């Protein structure tokens, strides 16, 4: 080493010694911090799993790291949060026959023939939606009975609120014409069971299905994690998990196999409530168990949502509550006493009104409860006034653009004005959580973003947007997928924005969704996903 090289090395070491060492530097980017001022930064420094510095490239020059990423102008967002989904259900979905996107019942049958085996003990599928078919009526079991006389067949509707089953499944579950359809409906035609079960009676089928192995359950969780990371999700709010699955999640997280952060809503069963409500809420960096998921009613597509007035296209039907009013009130009192959140599925306007009244009474003396109404889908316009800083909406923008083709048929031209009313809800509650309800909808959060700001489907329909007055702005939408979603979980001080001291969860994407054409936003690709500054997903290069 000559004299000049020695001098250069000494100077370099001197300047390095003046810099603070961090674990990762990311620079030369377009970074949406989603802080209170919605600042845009160029660079971030990460240390010990937290954001250590955020600012310009020049500021980050004060730090040294062995690892760095030159973004070359790419965009960074805080790690995305799905405020209402079925994470475990997504994983289970990978283990059954996929029926999403079928255009007829004949196509459903074709997929079954292609993917099922006569050597199996049960044939399961999920994802059919009669509203997508030319004949928009519930299917019947007769063809399933001919194809599979000796094997139970259970086909779940896309919304998870109806099964189509064959006679073998009905026989095993001991469902007959005399069976009572508690908290739901056993669809009949000419006095005979068609094979379609809506809501409550589905439990009778669940009871005869074979139990999954621990390995199958673990694989479901790990497969779901892989899909979520590919889509830029770093936190998921799973809307209804059993004690067994929550404890399995905790075990996999402790073994560092499950790295995604999970806000786990406890399914409303006696066993689950007795176990969790007698304890303090569980809170780790990866797991939050502090809420109870209650089902108020069913879904609009299967006419199970409970309405104040009959269905426009079924004048004898008001829908049915899954949980009776007295039980909802008793649950609310018990959950409030335990200092847990109550997050209730409410799609019909009658159910939303029941929840607003119940929540308001129980929460009168609670300072900051943040109880949630999940879906908040069909609402009497005057009941929107009931949302506030104690009663918060958790909604799914792609439901609006999936349902818009037939929603007015269900509720008529007047009630549709209070449907999927995200802007009106935000104006009252000041925050709104956005999710997908996957696997009911696609996991892709950029479909959520596009649906919220455009109120259109991916083909640009309708031209002026569906009930466009309730579209959200881009800033509101991004907040609903990050900081506001974190707020709904009591986690806004640790995640949801890129700020000093917060968890270093972030994603790198291939375009600037805040400035590109609206029609380009849903095409966004996630390039990399980070949790606590660690890379958990990177897109494969072509």
Alpha carbon distance 170, 183 (integer Å): 18
Which pLDDT does position 447 carry in this prediction?
99
Which pLDDT does position 425 carry in this prediction?
99
| Cα 476 to the center of its chain, rounded Å | 18
- Residue ranges of alpha helices (H) inside 95-206 are 105-115, 142-147, 167-172, 202-206
pLDDT tens digits, one per residue of 59-117:
889 999 999 999 999 999 999 999 999 999 999 999 999 999 999 999 999 999 998 77
Q: Are residues 392 and 430 in the same domain?
A: yes
Q: What is the mean pLDDT of the chain?
A: 95
Q: Does some domain include residue 66?
A: yes
Q: Are residues 186 and 50 in the same domain?
A: no
Whether the per-residue pLDDT at 14 is higher than 90: the answer is: no
Q: Which of 309, 527, 321, 486 is closest to 415 using CA atoms?
A: 309
110 is written with which tokens? 């074709």
Q: 174, 163 in Cβ contact below 8 A? A: no
Residue that has been written with the tokens 């700001």 in this structure: 453
Paired sense of beta strands 506-509 and 50-55, if any:
unpaired
pLDDT tens digits, one per residue of 108-143:
999 999 987 766 789 999 999 999 999 889 999 999
Which pLDDT does position 119 carry in this prediction?
64
Q: How confident is the model at residue 11 (pLDDT cuts 50, 70, 90)?
A: very low
Whether the per-residue pLDDT at 219 is higher than 50: the answer is: yes
Q: Which of 382, 404, 538, 537 is closest to 468 using CA atoms?
A: 404
Whether the per-residue pLDDT at 8 is higher than 80: the answer is: no
Whether the per-residue pLDDT at 391 is higher than 90: the answer is: yes
Q: Are residues 340 and 427 in the same domain?
A: yes
Q: How confident is the model at residue 183 (pLDDT cuts 50, 70, 90)?
A: confident
- What is the greatest pairwise CA distance in the chain? 99
Q: 34, 483 in Cβ contact below 8 A? A: yes
Q: Are residues 417 and 459 in the same domain?
A: yes
Across-strand partners of 53? 45
Q: Are residues 147 and 117 in the same domain?
A: yes
pTM for this entry: 0.91
Which pLDDT does position 182 carry in this prediction?
80
Which pLDDT does position 118 carry in this prediction?
62
Whether the per-residue pLDDT at 15 is higher than 90: the answer is: no
Alpha carbon distance 19, 60 (integer Å): 10
Segments forming the whole domain that contains residue 298: 81-87+213-534
Q: Are residues 112 and 183 in the same domain?
A: yes
Q: How many domains does the chain have?
A: 3
Q: Are residues 255 and 274 in the same domain?
A: yes
Q: Are residues 63 and 101 in the same domain?
A: no
Q: Does some domain include residue 542?
A: no
| Least confidently predicted of 209-213, 260-264, 335-339 | 209-213
Q: Does some domain include residue 369?
A: yes
| Cα 460 to the center of its chain, rounded Å | 24
Give the domain CATH number at 53: 2.30.40.10
Q: Does some domain include residue 540?
A: no
Q: How confident is the model at residue 17 (pLDDT cuts 50, 70, 90)?
A: low
Q: Are residues 441 and 494 in the same domain?
A: yes
Q: Are residues 147 and 259 in the same domain?
A: no
Q: State the Cα torsion 417-418-420-426 to the nearest 10°.
A: 120
Residue that has been written with the tokens 């943040």 in this structure: 370
Whether the per-residue pLDDT at 166 is higher than 90: the answer is: yes
Q: Are residues 142 and 197 in the same domain?
A: yes
Q: Are residues 516 and 462 in the same domain?
A: yes
Q: Does some domain include residue 67?
A: yes
| Least confidently predicted of 279-283, 342-346, 526-530 | 279-283
Q: How confident is the model at residue 406 (pLDDT cuts 50, 70, 90)?
A: very high
Whether the per-residue pLDDT at 419 is higher than 90: the answer is: yes
Alpha carbon distance 188, 96 (integer Å): 27
């Amino acid at each position: 080493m000559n004299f000049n090289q020695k001098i250069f090395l000494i100077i370099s070491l001197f300047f390095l010694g003046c810099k603070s060492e961090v674990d990762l530097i990311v620079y030369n980017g377009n970074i949406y911090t989603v802080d209170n001022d919605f600042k845009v930064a160029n660079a971030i420094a990460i240390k010990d799993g937290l954001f250590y510095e955020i600012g310009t490239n020049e500021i980050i020059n004060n730090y040294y790291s062995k690892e760095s990423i030159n973004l070359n102008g790419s965009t960074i967002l805080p790690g995305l949060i799905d405020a209402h989904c079925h994470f475990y259900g997504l994983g289970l979905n990978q283990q059954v026959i996929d029926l999403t996107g079928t255009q007829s019942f004949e196509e459903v049958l074709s997929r079954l023939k292609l993917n099922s085996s006569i050597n199996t003990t049960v044939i399961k599928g999920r994802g059919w939606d009669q509203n997508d078919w030319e004949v928009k009526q519930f299917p019947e079991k007769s063809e399933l009975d001919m194809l599979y006389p000796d094997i139970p067949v259970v086909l779940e509707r896309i919304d998870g609120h109806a099964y189509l089953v064959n006679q073998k499944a009905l026989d095993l579950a001991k469902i007959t014409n005399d069976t009572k359809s508690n908290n739901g409906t056993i669809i009949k035609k000419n006095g005979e069971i068609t094979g379609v079960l809506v809501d409550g009676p589905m439990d009778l089928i669940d009871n005869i299905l074979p139990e999954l192995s621990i390995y199958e359950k673990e694989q479901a969780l790990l497969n779901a994690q892989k899909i979520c990371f590919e889509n830029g999700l770093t936190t998921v709010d799973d809307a209804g998990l059993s004690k067994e699955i929550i404890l399995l999640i905790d075990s996999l997280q402790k073994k560092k196999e499950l790295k995604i952060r999970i806000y786990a809503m406890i399914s409303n069963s006696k066993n689950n409530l007795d176990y969790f409500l007698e304890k303090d809420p569980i809170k780790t960096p990866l797991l939050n168990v502090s809420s109870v998921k209650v089902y108020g009613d069913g879904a609009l597509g299967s006419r199970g949502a409970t309405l104040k007035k009959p269905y426009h296209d079924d004048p004898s039907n008001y829908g049915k509550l899954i949980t009776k009013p007295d039980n909802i009130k008793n649950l609310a009192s018990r959950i409030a006493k335990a200092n847990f959140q109550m997050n209730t599925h409410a799609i019909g306007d009658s159910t939303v009104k029941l929840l607003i009244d119940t929540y308001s009474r129980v929460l009168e003396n609670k300072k900051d409860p943040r109880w949630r109404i999940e879906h908040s889908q069909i609402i009497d316009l005057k009941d929107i006034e009931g949302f506030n800083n104690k009663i918060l909406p958790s909604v799914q923008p792609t439901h609006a653009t999936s349902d818009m083709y037939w929603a007015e048929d269900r509720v008529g031209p007047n009630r549709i004005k209070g449907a999927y009313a995200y802007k009106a809800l935000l104006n009252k509650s000041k925050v709104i959580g956005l999710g997908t309800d996957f696997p009911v909808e696609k996991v892709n959060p950029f479909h959520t973003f596009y649906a919220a700001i455009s109120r259109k489907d991916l083909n640009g329909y309708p031209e002026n947007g569906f009930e466009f007055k309730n579209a959200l702005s881009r800033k509101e939408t991004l907040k609903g997928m990050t900081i506001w979603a974190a707020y709904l979980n009591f986690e806004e001080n640790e995640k949801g924005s890129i700020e000093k001291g917060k968890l270093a969860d972030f994603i790198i994407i291939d375009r600037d969704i805040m400035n590109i054409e609206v029609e380009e936003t849903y095409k966004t690709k996630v390039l990399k996903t980070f949790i606590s500054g660690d890379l958990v997903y990177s897109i494969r290069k072509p």
